[in-house]
Chains A and B, each alone.
Chain A
C-alpha cells in the first residue's frame, strides 16, 4: 500500500503517529487523546431492532430476541433464533439450523409494521410473524418467500456483502435501505411486496435512511456519505431530507440538515420520527437533534454523550417510542428521553473524550445526567481557557494529553481544580502509581488524575528473530546496538534473507531517527538533564545511525519530507507500535526497551492522558462523579492494570463464561443425542462432540485476554523504566525550524554538527523565552 502523504487522511494520521516528533501538533491546539480498542460482547451487541406498541424488540449477535420498554426501562427475554445476519447463502443457513437443532428459526433482521413484529432471514428470503396473540414468542412462517437479493442474499457466497441500514413494513410492503460493498460502495433503497415477494428498487440515488411518514409517504435522508467531504471547502456536506412517494417512486426534497459541530458533522444516523407532531429526530456527533418539519425549527433534543464518531455509523438504527429515542449501538441499546427537563438545564460538558470504555460506563451508570461531549477536537487551548474564565461554553471536565498540552501550566495558573478534598476521587487516586500522579501535584495537592497511557516503540518479532539464528537475549538493548544491527544487515544477513523486511514502516531512516529522538527527549527528562543534543549519549547514537547505509534497503532516494510512507510489513523483524503497557497483545512480539549506552537502563517515555475539572464548573457534583466513575471503570486490559500497581489479577474474556456455558449445554445436548441416535448417525454426532470438546479446550486456553504472566512480565520488565513524559519545550511553540534542521540533516544538506548546533541554539532560545 503506497500513497503520497498528502493524498489520504489516514496516511497523514499515520505520519503524525509515527513521526510525532518531527511533525508535532501545533502548539496550543488540543488534539485528540487516544482511541482505545474495546472488547465487544456479542450478548450486548444489538444487531437489529423494531418497535411495536410501546416496546422495542432487539435481536442480538447470539440470536437472542429481547423486549425493552423505554418508559419503564424494563427488559425481558422473548426467544431465540439462529442469527444469520452474516450469511448470504441458504445452504449455510441450513447447516446452522442443523447444528442448532429443532424448533429454531433463522433470522437476520427484525422489522415491524404498526402492530406486528416480524423477523426476516435474508439468506433464505423466509420471514416470520414472531409473536402470538398473547405477545409470547410464537414464530409463524409467512408466505411467500421474499426476493432479498438486494439485501445481500447471494447463492454460493460465503458472506453477505450488503449491510442493511433499516427495514420496516407498511401497507403490504417491506421497505429497505442498504449499503452494498459489491464492486465498490453503493446505496440501495426499495420495497418488497409482501404478497408477491417481488423487489421494487427506488430510482432516487443515495437514499441513506428511510422511515414511514404520513399518508403512506416515506421520509428519507439522501446523502452520499462516501463523498461527503467537499474537497474545495474542506467541509463535510450535510444530508438532504425529503418525502418519497413510494407509489410514484418520486422524491421531493424538503431541505438540508444543518451542518453539525462535529468534525464529522455531516454524518447523521438513527433517523426516526413522530409524524403526528411533525418531528424528525437523528443523531449527529454527541447529540440527538429534533427537527420540526412544520416550522423548520431545529434544536438539541438530547445529549447522547457520544463523541466525534457519534452518528458515524451507517446502520445506527433508532426508534422513536413515546417520547424516547432508542438507538442501537455496539454496546447495546441506549435510550434518551427527548426534550427532558434535565436536558433543558444543560449538560455536563466533557472535552477530549473519544467514547472510551470508562466514559461509556458513566453514560450507562448515570443515564439521567445529560452529557455533552465535545465533537470538535481542533479547539485551541486558549479558547478552552477563555471559556473557563468567562463561564460561557466552558467544559466541566477535560481530558488532556500531558506530553503535548501545558497541563502543568494549567495547574500552576489555577485552571485545574484541587481534587484533594474529594474522597470519592482520592480513594482511587491514592492507589494510582505515584509516578503518574506526581506531575499532577502541587504543594501536596492533586489537581488531576491520570486515566490512560500510551507508548509507541519498536517491537521485536521473535519468530523472525530466531529465523536469523538469534535468541531473545541477543536482542538490541541500546540504540547503538540497534543501529549497528541495521548497519551490518547487508553484510551479515541480506544474502540469506533477501525478502525479510526490517521495519513495518518505510522509510527506515525517518522511523529510526524519530523513535530515537522521542526516546532521547524522555531520557533527558527522566535524568533531569538539560535539553541539549550536544551530549555524548546523542552523539554515540547518531554515530551509529550514520553508519547505516539506507541505500542498501533501496530507500535513500529523494528528500525525506517528500518520501512515500509505506506501511504493511506485518511480518517484518521490527515493528513500530504501541506495545508498552498493552497487556492483551501477543507476547511473542515484545517491546524493545532501548537505552542510550550499552549497560545503561532504558527509559520508556509514556504519553499520559489526564482528567482535570474546571474549577469554575457549575456542575461540580456531576463532574466529581464523572471523574470518580472514570477511575473505577478504566479499560481493564490496560490502564486499570498499568495505572494501579496493586491490580495484578488476570483478565478474563468477557465472553468466556457465556461461551463456556453454551458449549457445555450443546455438549450435553449432543451427548443425549448420541444415546438416542441411530447407529448410522452416531459417527456424525461423535464428530460434533469431538469438535465441541476441542472448542472448549481452545476456549480454556484463551480464557484470559490478559494473563498473569503478561502482568508479571510487565511489572518486571517495563514498569520500572516508565517515565511520564511532560510537555517538552519543543512542543510549546512553532518548532518548524527545528524540524527543518532535522529534515535537512536527514537529506544530508547539513552535517550532524550543524544540526546539533542549530537545534541547541533554538532550544536554548525557547528555554530562555520561558524564563
Chain B
C-alpha cells in the first residue's frame, strides 16, 4: 500500500510541480511584492500600499465601474443563457447549428470582433443608419459614456455561448416526464422553468452565475479595444488601472490592486455560496 502511495506521488509530481512553479510561488511572491516599497532594496512597508491604492481615486473609479458592469453583465448573461438553453432543449431541426452559432463568438478573437463592432457602432455605422432612418439623432456609440452600450452588448454576445453550453448540458439530466406532468397540470413556461428546471439544475445555475460574475469582473479587453488605455471615465475598469500601472512600472500598485481584486472576488463568491446554502437550508 505504502509503495503504491509513493507511485501516486510520482504521477502527481509533474502537475504539482507546475502548480507550485506557475501558481503557488508567483502567488506568494506577488503577495510579498504588494507589501514592499519597490525600491532597489525592496523594503517591507506593511499594508501602506493597500492604503494608498484604496485611497486612489482611479482605483476607486475602476472598482466602482467594474462592479457596475459586473452587476449588469452577470445577471444578463445568466438570464439570457438560461432562456436560450431552455429554448434549445427541445430537439428541433437545426438546433445544433444554433448551439454552435452561440458558441462561435466565444471562440473569436476580441480584436477581430472590434472590426465588426466598429462597422456596427461607428458614427456612420449600421446602427446609426437605423437610428437616423427612425428619425432620431445619431449617437457617438464609441465615445464618452455611450460606449457602455456597445461594450455591454459585445461582452454579452461574446460570453453568452459558453453559459448556454453549460446550461444545455445540465438540462439534459432533467427528466422529461416532469415537464409532461407539469404541462398536464397546466403549468406555463415560466412556472415550468422556475419550479422544475431551476431546482433541478441549481448547482449548475450557481456555477454559471459565479463564472459570469468572475468573468464580468475581468472585463477589460472589450473596453480596451474600443476605448484604449484611457477611455471615458464611465468605462474605466479596475483592469485599466492595473494595466496602466504596469506601463508606468508601478509594480507594487499592480500587485496590490490585483490582490485587492482577488479578495473582492473571493468575498463575492463566499457571499453567493452562503446565500445558496441558506436557500438550500430553507428548501430542506
Do A and B truly interact? yes
Q: Interface on A for B, CB 8 Å cutoff? A: 27-28, 381-382, 385, 388-389, 406, 409, 413-415, 615-616, 732-738, 740, 761-762, 765-766, 768-771
A765 lies within 8 A of B58 (CB) = yes
B40 lies within 8 A of A734 (CB) = no
Alpha-carbon separation in the docked complex, A738 to B230 (Å):
9
Chain A residue with minimal CB distance to B236? A765
Cβ–Cβ < 8 Å partners of B183 in chain A: none
B230 lies within 8 A of A766 (CB) = yes
Interface residues of B: mostly helix, strand, loop or mixed?
loop
Stretch among B83-91, B155-163, B243-251 lining the A interface: B243-251
A sample of 13 cross-chain residue pairs with beta-carbon separation below 8 angstroms, ordered by A number, consists of A382-B249, A382-B251, A385-B40, A385-B249, A388-B40, A413-B37, A733-B244, A735-B229, A735-B230, A765-B236, A766-B244, A769-B56, A771-B56
Minimal beta-carbon separation of A766 from chain B (angstroms): 7
Alpha-carbon separation in the docked complex, A734 to B230 (Å):
8
Which one of A616, A732, A736, A769 contacts B58 once the chains associate, using CB atoms below 8 Å? Answer: A769
Alpha-carbon separation in the docked complex, A365 to B251 (Å):
41
Minimal beta-carbon separation of B236 from chain A (angstroms): 7
Alpha-carbon separation in the docked complex, A482 to B39 (Å):
46
Chain B residue with minimal CB distance to A406? B249
B231 lies within 8 A of A734 (CB) = no
Minimal beta-carbon separation of A633 from chain B (angstroms): 29
Minimal beta-carbon separation of A703 from chain B (angstroms): 49
A409 lies within 8 A of B249 (CB) = yes
Q: Report if B215 contacts A (CB, 8 A).
A: no
B230 lies within 8 A of A762 (CB) = yes
B248 lies within 8 A of A770 (CB) = yes
Q: Report if B26 contacts A (CB, 8 A).
A: no
B39 lies within 8 A of A414 (CB) = yes
User: Given A768-B57, A769-B56, A414 and B41 touching (CB < 8 A)?
Assistant: yes
Which one of B227, B228, B244, B251 contacts A769 once the chains associate, using CB atoms below 8 Å? Answer: B244
Which B36-71 residues have C-beta < 8 A from chain A? Answer: 37-42, 56-58
Q: Report if B241 contacts A (CB, 8 A).
A: yes
A736 lies within 8 A of B247 (CB) = no
- A27-B248, A733-B248 are known contacts; what are 18 more A-B pairs with Cβ within 8 Å? A28-B248, A389-B42, A406-B249, A409-B249, A413-B39, A414-B39, A415-B39, A733-B244, A733-B247, A734-B244, A734-B247, A737-B227, A737-B228, A738-B230, A761-B232, A765-B236, A768-B56, A771-B57
Chain B residue with minimal CB distance to A758? B143
A737 lies within 8 A of B231 (CB) = yes
Cβ–Cβ < 8 Å partners of B37 in chain A: 413
Minimal beta-carbon separation of B48 from chain A (angstroms): 14
Alpha-carbon separation in the docked complex, A732 to B230 (Å):
13
Alpha-carbon separation in the docked complex, A227 to B269 (Å):
59
User: Given A406-B249, A736-B229, A768-B58, A616 and B40 touching (CB < 8 A)?
Assistant: yes
Cβ–Cβ < 8 Å partners of A406 in chain B: 248-249
Alpha-carbon separation in the docked complex, A303 to B99 (Å):
64
Minimal beta-carbon separation of B244 from chain A (angstroms): 5
Cβ–Cβ < 8 Å partners of B38 in chain A: 413
Cβ–Cβ < 8 Å partners of A28 in chain B: 247-249
B229 lies within 8 A of A413 (CB) = no
Alpha-carbon separation in the docked complex, A736 to B247 (Å):
13
B40 lies within 8 A of A615 (CB) = yes
Cβ–Cβ < 8 Å partners of B251 in chain A: 382
Of A389, A762, A765, most B-chain CB atoms within 10 Å: A765
Cβ–Cβ < 8 Å partners of B40 in chain A: 385, 388-389, 413-415, 615-616
Chain B residue with minimal CB distance to A767? B58
Cβ–Cβ < 8 Å partners of B95 in chain A: none
Alpha-carbon separation in the docked complex, A738 to B227 (Å):
11
Alpha-carbon separation in the docked complex, A738 to B247 (Å):
16
B249 lies within 8 A of A765 (CB) = no
Minimal beta-carbon separation of B52 from chain A (angstroms): 8
Which B239-284 residues have C-beta < 8 A from chain A? Answer: 241, 244-245, 247-249, 251
Q: Report if B233 contacts A (CB, 8 A).
A: yes
Of B42, B231, B247, most A-chain CB atoms within 10 Å: B247
Cβ–Cβ < 8 Å partners of A616 in chain B: 40
B231 lies within 8 A of A769 (CB) = no
Which one of B58, B229, B248 contacts A737 once the chains associate, using CB atoms below 8 Å? Answer: B229
B228 lies within 8 A of A734 (CB) = yes
Minimal beta-carbon separation of B225 from chain A (angstroms): 12
Alpha-carbon separation in the docked complex, A762 to B233 (Å):
9
Chain A residue with minimal CB distance to B38? A413
Chain A residue with minimal CB distance to B62? A769
Alpha-carbon separation in the docked complex, A409 to B42 (Å):
14
Which B1-59 residues have C-beta < 8 A from chain A? Answer: 37-42, 56-58
Alpha-carbon separation in the docked complex, A313 to B214 (Å):
57
Minimal beta-carbon separation of A683 from chain B (angstroms): 75
Alpha-carbon separation in the docked complex, A709 to B243 (Å):
52
A761 lies within 8 A of B249 (CB) = no
Minimal beta-carbon separation of A253 from chain B (angstroms): 42
A769 lies within 8 A of B245 (CB) = yes
B228 lies within 8 A of A736 (CB) = yes
Alpha-carbon separation in the docked complex, A28 to B243 (Å):
13
Cβ–Cβ < 8 Å partners of B244 in chain A: 733-734, 766, 769
Alpha-carbon separation in the docked complex, A615 to B40 (Å):
8
Minimal beta-carbon separation of B260 from chain A (angstroms): 15
Cβ–Cβ < 8 Å partners of B57 in chain A: 768, 771
Alpha-carbon separation in the docked complex, A146 to B42 (Å):
70
Chain A residue with minimal CB distance to B252? A413
Which B189-229 residues have C-beta < 8 A from chain A? Answer: 227-229
Alpha-carbon separation in the docked complex, A409 to B40 (Å):
11
Cβ–Cβ < 8 Å partners of B227 in chain A: 737
Cβ–Cβ < 8 Å partners of A738 in chain B: 230
Minimal beta-carbon separation of A398 from chain B (angstroms): 13
Cβ–Cβ < 8 Å partners of B245 in chain A: 769
Chain B residue with minimal CB distance to A738? B230
Minimal beta-carbon separation of A739 from chain B (angstroms): 10
Cβ–Cβ < 8 Å partners of A414 in chain B: 39-41
Alpha-carbon separation in the docked complex, A415 to B37 (Å):
12
Alpha-carbon separation in the docked complex, A385 to B230 (Å):
26
Cβ–Cβ < 8 Å partners of A381 in chain B: 249
Minimal beta-carbon separation of A727 from chain B (angstroms): 10
Alpha-carbon separation in the docked complex, A701 to B45 (Å):
65
A27 lies within 8 A of B247 (CB) = yes
Alpha-carbon separation in the docked complex, A27 to B248 (Å):
7
The 10 closest A-B pairs by CB, nearest first: A733-B247, A734-B229, A737-B228, A762-B230, A414-B40, A414-B39, A413-B39, A769-B58, A768-B58, A27-B247
Chain B residue with minimal CB distance to A27? B247
Cβ–Cβ < 8 Å partners of A762 in chain B: 230
Minimal beta-carbon separation of A769 from chain B (angstroms): 4
Alpha-carbon separation in the docked complex, A431 to B233 (Å):
48
Cβ–Cβ < 8 Å partners of B41 in chain A: 414
Minimal beta-carbon separation of A69 from chain B (angstroms): 46
Of B38, B39, B244, B249, most A-chain CB atoms within 10 Å: B249
Minimal beta-carbon separation of B108 from chain A (angstroms): 23
Alpha-carbon separation in the docked complex, A27 to B58 (Å):
19
Minimal beta-carbon separation of A561 from chain B (angstroms): 15
Alpha-carbon separation in the docked complex, A389 to B38 (Å):
10
A761 lies within 8 A of B233 (CB) = yes
A769 lies within 8 A of B241 (CB) = yes
Alpha-carbon separation in the docked complex, A413 to B38 (Å):
7
Cβ–Cβ < 8 Å partners of B249 in chain A: 28, 381-382, 385, 406, 409
